[in-house]
Structure 1
Amino acid sequence: MPECRSGLPFLVSVADLHPIDAEAVSRISSRAYRSGDCIFTTHAADSGGYPKCSVGGLPTQIGRYLVALREDLDYEDREGWQARHTCDNPGCINPEHLVSGTVADNANDKVMRRRSTRGERSSSAKLTIFDVLALRLFLKVPATVFANWHGVTPRAAQHARNGTTWCYLDDVVPPVKLGSTQ
């Protein structure tokens, strides 16, 4: 594969690209540099840390643009797909670290890699995972008593017990629905 000025190979093959895209890939590749397994660029980043540049006079997120070129996707399709970073680094433009996926895929990645703020990782959480598991296991302790012990409202305790909140623990200890005697 031919190399660009930065010494790295072109990030995507430019052989069959439209001239505007070939020029953009050449420009992006010329400002790319490697750091560990990731490839970064000296282009400016948006508020989320994703590098951007101008392609055909339009502002473009580089990672999304490279995925669209490589996988022959419609860049403008904002609802159908997202660029996902397997390295969890928004500044990375390494095509080997970028894949397309749905919003749900991206959200699942966040949860699986423990980057989400749900459960006790939330800044407003008063309960821990162990509190919720105990609440679901010890059914003889009323939710109101449990709520007093842990400084939450009875409603919050009941929601944790019945799975309205903390639903990601449902596979560990199933929630207890109202009227259930299990």
Structure 2
Amino acid sequence: MAKAGLCSIAGCGKPVKGRGWCSAHIAKWRKYGDPLASVRRPTQYGPCAMPGCSKQGASSRSMLCGAHYKRRWRYGDPNKGAEFRAASGEPLAWLIAHVAHVGEDCLKWPFADRGNGYGCLNNEAGEFVGAHREMCRKAHGEPPSADHAALHSCGMGHEGCVNPQHLRWGTVTENAADRYEHGTMKLGEDVHNAKLTEDDVKAIRAAVGKSQNELAREFGVNQATIWKILHRLAWRWLK
């Protein structure tokens, strides 16, 4: 049985950080979902397995160099990619030709994206910009301020929609409200660095007789986070 104030993992003996575990076991739990997970072996690198490719730095897991790995991730085939590259100026010319586009359906960007579905291109000034933002600028004029975002009424910006009729300028707050309404905003456990689960938050709100500092130590967060959860300033969407 672990002594009070020490990690509850058998044979550890380090000071408790939260959840009854030390900081090392909490880190393993957050990264691998198991406080007892073994540290993964370092990735080994070698030559790319694609015929004719002499690049080094291929992961032992994928056996592909960075360029072929990206092609497989984006197109599903490490040999694809070159045929998808647009000629210089072609994306901008396509965008200008579709500024007056009429139609209710989404107009999908057919060229490169940022890896998150949002298209990108170089504008007339040589600036690397988002395709939806450039389309909004050409169709509806300059944004009221540099902080304004190009909002999608369809909620399909992450699918590459650049239909000018679906775009409008909006504030950061309006953009967040749109993302929440369309279900494209990451919340709770979906956030990559989330420390708590939905069950944790429900347990915190249901806790009786424990101080905020006690809850903070138990769940491995600070007292301010507990206060925000209890006052529904954080995780407010969770009933």
TM-score, length of structure 1 as denominator length: 0.54
1:128 to 182, 197, 202: 197
SS in 2 for 1:139: coil
2:166 to 97, 107, 112: 97
Matches within 5 A, 1:21-170: 24=93, 27-29=96-98, 37-59=105-127, 60-74=129-143, 77-79=145-147, 81-85=148-152, 86-90=154-158, 91-143=160-212, 146=215, 152-153=219-220, 155-156=221-222, 158-163=223-228, 167-170=233-236
Q: Which amino acid aligns with 1:131?
A: D
Deviations 1:19-48 (A, max 9, x none): xxxx95775439x9x9x9321233333454
Q: Which runs of 5+ in 1 are unaligned?
A: 1-22, 174-182
Deviations 1:98-119 (A, max 9, x none): 2211122223333344433442
SS in 1 for 2:157: coil
TM-score, length of structure 2 as denominator length: 0.44
2:229 touches 2:235 (CA, 8 Å); kept in 1?
no
Quick one: distance in 1 between partners of 2:213 and 2:109? 55
Q: Which amino acid aligns with 1:43?
A: F
Q: Which runs of 5+ in 2 are unaligned?
A: 1-91
Q: Which amino acid aligns with 2:226?
A: R
Task: Mark the CA change 1:50 to 1:116 in structure 2 (over 3 Å): closer, same or farther.
Answer: closer
Quick one: distance in 1 between partners of 2:229 and 2:209? 20
Q: CA RMSD in A?
A: 4.0
SS in 2 for 1:99: strand
Q: Which amino acid aligns with 2:107?
A: I
Task: Mark the CA change 1:164 to 1:45 in structure 2 (over 3 Å): closer, same or farther.
Answer: same
Q: Any runs of at least 4 consecutive aligned residues in structure 1 with deviations exceeding 6 A, and if so which?
A: none
Q: Which amino acid aligns with 1:62?
A: A
Task: Mark the CA change 1:170 to 1:139 in structure 2 (over 3 Å): closer, same or farther.
Answer: farther
Task: Mark the CA change 1:100 to 1:171 in structure 2 (over 3 Å): closer, same or farther.
Answer: same
SS in 2 for 1:58: coil
Matches within 5 A, 1:169-180: 169-170=235-236
SS in 2 for 1:131: helix
Quick one: distance in 1 between partners of 2:155 and 2:214? 44
Quick one: distance in 1 between partners of 2:194 and 2:170? 30
Matches within 5 A, 1:9-20: none
Deviations 1:30-67 (A, max 9, x none): 9x9x9x93212333334544334444353443321222
2:188 touches 2:194 (CA, 8 Å); kept in 1?
yes
Quick one: distance in 1 between partners of 2:96 and 2:238? 50
SS in 2 for 1:135: helix
Larger strand share, 1 or 2: 1
SS in 1 for 2:150: strand
SS in 1 for 2:169: strand
Quick one: distance in 1 between partners of 2:192 and 2:121? 35
